[in-house]
């Protein structure tokens, strides 16, 4: 199983890359998580958020590897507790499928991305800035994995 995290936005602050890298290096080889950044749509004074989301959504969907199941990170998605995420991660591993997790840019995900998604997942009821979502996602995937292997990182 492979998990591809496709995120809109490049040139993140150093703390984002450091945070993601910290959890990425802890992950086991058998749980491959790949991170790919896609550029923001060109913004100018007359840019409309819906048009920007549409352009970024087209990029995201083109970047999804063929055959992947798609999970859209969306504030209106399904909330999962960490133990529920661990169960979901186990299901994903047992399925043999590959997964692409989509993180939108500052304006969110396009309707096309949400429609293509097999699942919509909310990390929080709060609206989180997209750079922070990357770090939270990396940590939660690592935490979920530690639960599946009874590693002491997660404490109930």
Report whether 104 belongs to an annotated binding site. yes
Report whether 132 belongs to an annotated binding site. no
Report whether 124 belongs to an annotated binding site. yes
Q: Rounded to whole angstroms, how far apart are CA atoms 34 and 47? A: 31
Which residues are CB-neighbours of 17 under 8 A, at least 6 positions away? none
Report whether 87 belongs to an annotated binding site. no
Strand partners, 100: 4, 70
* Chain-centre distance for alpha carbon 74: 10
Strand partners, 67: none
Report whether 126 belongs to an annotated binding site. yes
Report whether 9 belongs to an annotated binding site. no
Report whether 6 belongs to an annotated binding site. no
Report whether 141 belongs to an annotated binding site. no
**DSSP H stretches of helix in 10-156:** 14-26, 49-63, 82-95, 111-116, 130-148
* Of the candidates 114, 90, 105, the residue with the CA atom closest to the CA atom of residue 6: 105
Query: From the annotation, which residues make up the binding site?
Result: 73, 104, 123-128
Query: From the annotation, which residues make up the binding site for S-adenosyl-L-methionine?
Result: 73, 104, 123-128
């Amino acid at each position: 199983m492979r998990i591809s995290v496709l995120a809109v936005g490049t040139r993140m602050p150093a703390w984002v890359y450091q945070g993601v890298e910290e959890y990425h290096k802890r992950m086991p080889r058998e749980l491959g998580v790949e991170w790919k950044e896609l550029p923001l749509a060109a913004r100018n004074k007359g840019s409309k958020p819906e048009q920007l989301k549409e352009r970024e959504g087209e990029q995201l969907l083109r970047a999804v590897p063929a055959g992947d199941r798609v999970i859209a990170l969306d504030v209106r998605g399904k909330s999962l507790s960490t133990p529920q995420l661990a169960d979901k991660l186990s299901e994903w591993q047992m399925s043999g499928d590959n997964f692409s997790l989509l993180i939108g840019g500052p304006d969110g995900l396009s309707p096309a991305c949400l429609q293509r998604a097999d699942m919509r997942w909310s990390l929080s009821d709060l609206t989180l800035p997209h750079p922070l979502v990357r770090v939270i996602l990396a940590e939660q995937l690592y935490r979920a994995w530690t639960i599946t292997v009874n590693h002491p990182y997660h404490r109930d």
